[in-house]
Amino acid sequence: MTYSEFKASLQHPEAPQGVHELLKALWYDANQDWEAAHEVAQSNEGSKNYDRLHAYLHRKEGDNWNAQYWYTRAKAKVFMGTLQEEWEMLVNQFLAL
Protein backbone atom coordinates (compact mmCIF):
# COMPACT_ATOMS: atom_id res chain seq x y z
CA MET A 1 0.00 0.00 0.00
CA THR A 2 1.23 3.49 -0.81
CA TYR A 3 0.79 6.63 1.25
CA SER A 4 -1.79 7.92 -1.26
CA GLU A 5 -3.77 4.68 -1.07
CA PHE A 6 -3.70 4.82 2.72
CA LYS A 7 -4.90 8.44 2.70
CA ALA A 8 -7.71 7.49 0.31
CA SER A 9 -8.75 4.66 2.67
CA LEU A 10 -9.64 7.27 5.30
CA GLN A 11 -12.86 7.85 3.35
CA HIS A 12 -13.96 4.23 3.81
CA PRO A 13 -16.10 3.13 6.75
CA GLU A 14 -13.52 0.57 7.97
CA ALA A 15 -9.75 0.37 8.21
CA PRO A 16 -8.03 -1.31 5.25
CA GLN A 17 -7.54 -5.06 5.49
CA GLY A 18 -4.08 -6.58 5.50
CA VAL A 19 -2.19 -3.56 6.83
CA HIS A 20 -0.06 -3.58 9.95
CA GLU A 21 -2.06 -2.83 13.10
CA LEU A 22 0.05 0.29 13.66
CA LEU A 23 -1.36 1.66 10.42
CA LYS A 24 -4.84 0.70 11.54
CA ALA A 25 -4.22 2.72 14.69
CA LEU A 26 -3.33 5.78 12.61
CA TRP A 27 -6.42 5.15 10.48
CA TYR A 28 -8.55 5.09 13.66
CA ASP A 29 -6.87 8.27 14.87
CA ALA A 30 -7.52 10.08 11.60
CA ASN A 31 -11.16 8.98 11.82
CA GLN A 32 -11.62 10.48 15.29
CA ASP A 33 -11.35 7.20 17.23
CA TRP A 34 -8.47 8.04 19.57
CA GLU A 35 -9.49 5.26 22.00
CA ALA A 36 -9.16 2.51 19.37
CA ALA A 37 -5.79 3.91 18.31
CA HIS A 38 -4.66 4.05 21.95
CA GLU A 39 -5.70 0.42 22.49
CA VAL A 40 -3.34 -0.59 19.67
CA ALA A 41 -0.51 1.45 21.20
CA GLN A 42 -1.07 -0.23 24.56
CA SER A 43 -1.24 -3.71 23.05
CA ASN A 44 2.53 -4.04 22.64
CA GLU A 45 4.11 -1.63 25.11
CA GLY A 46 7.88 -1.92 25.14
CA SER A 47 8.07 -2.26 21.36
CA LYS A 48 9.71 0.84 19.87
CA ASN A 49 7.08 1.46 17.17
CA TYR A 50 4.16 0.98 19.54
CA ASP A 51 5.77 3.27 22.10
CA ARG A 52 6.38 5.84 19.35
CA LEU A 53 2.71 5.68 18.36
CA HIS A 54 1.81 6.03 22.03
CA ALA A 55 3.91 9.21 22.26
CA TYR A 56 2.15 10.75 19.26
CA LEU A 57 -1.30 9.90 20.63
CA HIS A 58 -0.61 11.51 24.00
CA ARG A 59 0.88 14.56 22.31
CA LYS A 60 -2.31 14.84 20.27
CA GLU A 61 -4.36 14.44 23.42
CA GLY A 62 -2.46 17.37 24.92
CA ASP A 63 -0.87 15.28 27.68
CA ASN A 64 2.69 16.49 27.10
CA TRP A 65 4.14 14.87 30.22
CA ASN A 66 2.84 11.46 29.17
CA ALA A 67 3.92 12.04 25.56
CA GLN A 68 7.46 12.84 26.76
CA TYR A 69 7.49 9.58 28.73
CA TRP A 70 6.60 7.58 25.61
CA TYR A 71 9.08 9.42 23.37
CA THR A 72 11.76 8.50 25.91
CA ARG A 73 10.62 4.86 26.01
CA ALA A 74 10.75 4.76 22.20
CA LYS A 75 14.23 6.36 22.27
CA ALA A 76 12.89 9.12 20.01
CA LYS A 77 13.20 12.88 20.12
CA VAL A 78 10.05 14.84 20.79
CA PHE A 79 8.59 15.66 17.39
CA MET A 80 8.80 19.40 16.78
CA GLY A 81 6.49 19.69 13.77
CA THR A 82 2.72 19.79 13.62
CA LEU A 83 0.54 16.88 14.62
CA GLN A 84 -0.35 16.40 10.95
CA GLU A 85 3.33 16.23 10.01
CA GLU A 86 3.97 13.70 12.75
CA TRP A 87 0.99 11.59 11.63
CA GLU A 88 2.28 11.61 8.04
CA MET A 89 5.79 10.68 9.15
CA LEU A 90 4.45 7.78 11.20
CA VAL A 91 2.27 6.53 8.32
CA ASN A 92 5.29 6.47 6.03
CA GLN A 93 7.40 4.78 8.70
CA PHE A 94 4.79 2.11 9.38
CA LEU A 95 4.13 1.51 5.68
CA ALA A 96 7.69 0.23 5.52
CA LEU A 97 7.02 -2.50 8.11
Digit-coded pLDDT (tens) for 34-86: 999 999 999 999 999 999 999 999 999 999 999 999 999 999 999 999 999 99
Query: From the CB of residue 86, how many other CB atoms can be counted at a distance below 10 Å?
Result: 18
pLDDT, position 41? 98
pLDDT, position 2? 96
Give the ranges where 1-97 is alpha helix by DSSP (H): 3-9, 21-30, 34-42, 48-61, 64-73, 83-95
Rounded CA-CA distance 66/43 in Å is 17
Cβ contact 40:22 at 8 Å: yes
When pLDDT is averaged across residues 2-27 and rounded to a whole number, the result is 97
pLDDT, position 12? 97
**pLDDT band of 96, cuts 50, 70, 90:** very high
pLDDT, position 73? 98
